Amino acid sequence: MMLEWVQIIGLSTIGIGLLLCYEATAGAGPLVRATRGEVWPKPQAFQRNYSYMFVRPNHFKFKVTFHTCAILDKAIERYKKIISAYSNVGGKQLRKWMKSDPLFHGYLDSLEVYLDTPCEEYPYLNMDELYSLKIDYGDLESKALLVSSSIWGVLRGLETFTQMLTPSIHIRNHLVVNSSLITDFPRFPHRGLLLDTSRHFEPLSVIFSILDGMECNKLNVFHWHIVDDQSFPYQSQIYPGLSEKGAYNPITHVYSIEDIQSVIEYARLRGIRVMPEFDTPGHTQSWGLSIPKLLTPCYQGGELSGTYGPIDPSRKENYKFVKTLFQEIISVFKDNYIHLGGDEVSFDCWSSNPNINQYMKDNNISTYEELESMYIQKVLNYVTNMNANSIVWQEVFQNNVTIQNDTVVHIWLGNLAQLLEEVTSAGHKALISECWYLDHLDKSWIDFYKCEPWNFDGTTEQKKLVLGGEACMWSEMVDESNVVSRIFPRASATAEKLWSSEDTNVVHSAQGRLEEHYCRMKKRGISAQPPTGPGFCPI
């Protein structure tokens, strides 16, 4: 028999408490038994007693005792609905034994929420997400208290508290929670999910569902890869032709400024940053449909081939266009970072073009890497002068482009340990995605879980430069019908690696918790797929 930690409702004489049982199944029944009331991602410090309290969903209240704001008010509304959804579930009405059970500590009818500083308006890199949660523990008898110095920590604590509640198997309309003490904070500040909406357009309802899943997993960066070669669904106010000619459908398959603002607001209320990516100079074929002479004409045998390559870096007009577009983008998206891409820039078209070659000769540019570097440096300077920060894909670094020290290098391909050592030894901050590509269907959540961000030969100072990472959902083979299930729960594994302590790394210890978390997401309307194999969700 394969062993696994599984949390169940256990009896103390005739009472009930949440006990831990080391168990999994073989043969009949589910492959992995789900835990009950375990938290995902695993908290940094979690102390729990066998004593327990009941929560009655229709009686329970959140009590805010100091600072509050719209973000907190909306969060309380959400979590009230989540808890209320567990009404009319559980066992039969059997109460006789409760009075004689020494582990039963009564009814928990409220959670006190204490936010000791005013709310911030927007989430940001390195925001404070630390919180403490005490439930009927130590000197706090028969009560519950959530404390944080930031609204973002309060949001994470509310998620944890709600996950700890699990239906009683003995008493209907009752949830049960153990006496517990949690001190929790993320290991990495950047815990992201990339969604590509160019190759397949995703409706707003799907994006909102993905953001719900991110909240449930304490992911805090929605990396919106909004445009690419295939389509340009971003509806620019300054350059409306980009979507009129570049979107799959300029009416139904576009994101207006109002749409984007609704996504930013939905994410903000959940403590999630929305970081856009507009990838240049490559991945811009859809851009060229409306902007004359933006792309480089390719030649073959000395004649125009009728195809086009990356943005033409020899034309001043193109820089004016890029600068103006990015000014609009930075004003629309509220985040301090913008992802500038820079990956997969083929030099074949540039090398075939006589005008490009003459430009290089006139400006003493000897290699196409130098030409790319000139373009990227100008764009980086534009962004810096707009008081924003930049992230680039790893090729920009590998091609020896001169980039500012505060430019973040995003690693997606190759030897992860070697690249992390090289990037951080050069003094650059790093993000990792190489091991967390959701479009790689041969990779299970277990593969994702085995990826360790600090597994490289670097000093302590180098490892501090790893900001975190992202699970990436490229959309060649997903649309609104299957994208959410392709993301979750595999992205949940990424979430735990980026939140929990480094020693939270044992797959078989995570299996039961992830099985429960999958069911939890389904209960909330998030279309997660089964993580391990045969099984069922009891509620």
CA–CA separation, 43 and 513 (whole Å): 12
CATH fold of 45-88+95-184, please? Chitobiase; domain 2 (3.30.379)
Q: What share of the chain is helix, strand, coil (3-state, %, to 5)?
A: 30, 25, 45
CA–CA separation, 73 and 92 (whole Å): 34
- Helices and strands (H and E) in the chain: how many: 16, 20
CA–CA separation, 110 and 433 (whole Å): 40
**Length of the chain (residues):** 539
pLDDT, residue 92, reads 61
502 a catalytic residue: no
CA–CA separation, 23 and 25 (whole Å): 7
**Which amino acid is it at 199?**
R
Q: Give SS3 for 255.
A: strand
Count the neighbouring beta carbons within 10 Å of the beta carbon of residue 344.
13
pLDDT, residue 28, reads 87
Each residue's pLDDT tens digit in the chain (539 positions)?
A: 222 222 333 333 333 344 443 345 557 899 999 999 999 999 999 999 999 999 999 999 999 999 999 999 999 999 999 999 988 775 565 556 666 789 999 999 999 999 999 999 999 999 999 999 999 999 999 999 999 999 999 999 999 999 999 999 888 889 999 999 999 999 999 999 999 999 999 999 999 999 999 999 999 999 999 999 999 999 999 999 999 999 999 999 999 999 999 999 999 999 999 999 999 999 999 999 999 999 999 999 999 999 999 999 999 999 999 999 999 999 999 999 999 999 999 999 999 999 999 999 999 999 999 999 999 999 999 999 999 999 999 999 999 988 988 999 999 999 999 999 999 999 999 999 999 999 999 999 999 999 999 999 999 999 999 999 999 999 999 999 999 999 999 999 999 999 999 999 999 999 999 999 999 999 999 999 999 999 999 87
The owner of tokens 């973000």 is 71
The owner of tokens 């994101």 is 255
Count the neighbouring beta carbons within 10 Å of the beta carbon of residue 138.
10
Sign of CA dihedral 202, 205, 209, 214: positive
**Which of 414, 466, 459 lies closest to 437, judged by CA?**
414
**Which of 167, 134, 163, 132 lies closest to 150, judged by CA?**
132
Cα 328 to chain centroid, rounded: 25
Stretch(es) of the chain classified as CATH 3.20.20.80: 190-524
pLDDT, residue 27, reads 72
Count the neighbouring beta carbons within 10 Å of the beta carbon of residue 200.
20
128: alpha, beta or left? (left if phi > 0; alpha if psi -120 to 50): beta
Stretch(es) of the chain classified as CATH 3.30.379.10: 45-88+95-184
pLDDT, residue 476, reads 98
pLDDT, residue 93, reads 59
∠ CA 148-154-156, nearest 5°, is 120
> What's the predicted TM-score (pTM) here?
0.95
pLDDT, residue 95, reads 59
Q: Do β-strands 166-167 and 131-137 pair in parallel, antiparallel, or remain unpaired?
A: unpaired
Per-residue H/E/C for 352-377: HCHHHHHHHHHCCCCCHHHHHHHHHH
pLDDT, residue 327, reads 98
Count the neighbouring beta carbons within 10 Å of the beta carbon of residue 102.
10
CA–CA separation, 169 and 364 (whole Å): 76
Tokens of 494: 């990424």
pLDDT, residue 287, reads 98
Catalytic choice (77, 141, 317, 344)? 344
CA–CA separation, 521 and 489 (whole Å): 9
Q: At what angle do helices 368-385 and 354-362 cross, to 10 degrees?
A: 80
pLDDT, residue 91, reads 58
CATH number belonging to the domain at 190-524, selected among 3.20.20.80, 3.40.50.1370, 3.40.50.720, 3.30.70.1400:
3.20.20.80
Contacts of 358 (CB under 8 A, 6+ apart): none
**What does the DSSP assignment read for 177-192?**
EEEEEEEE--S-SEEE
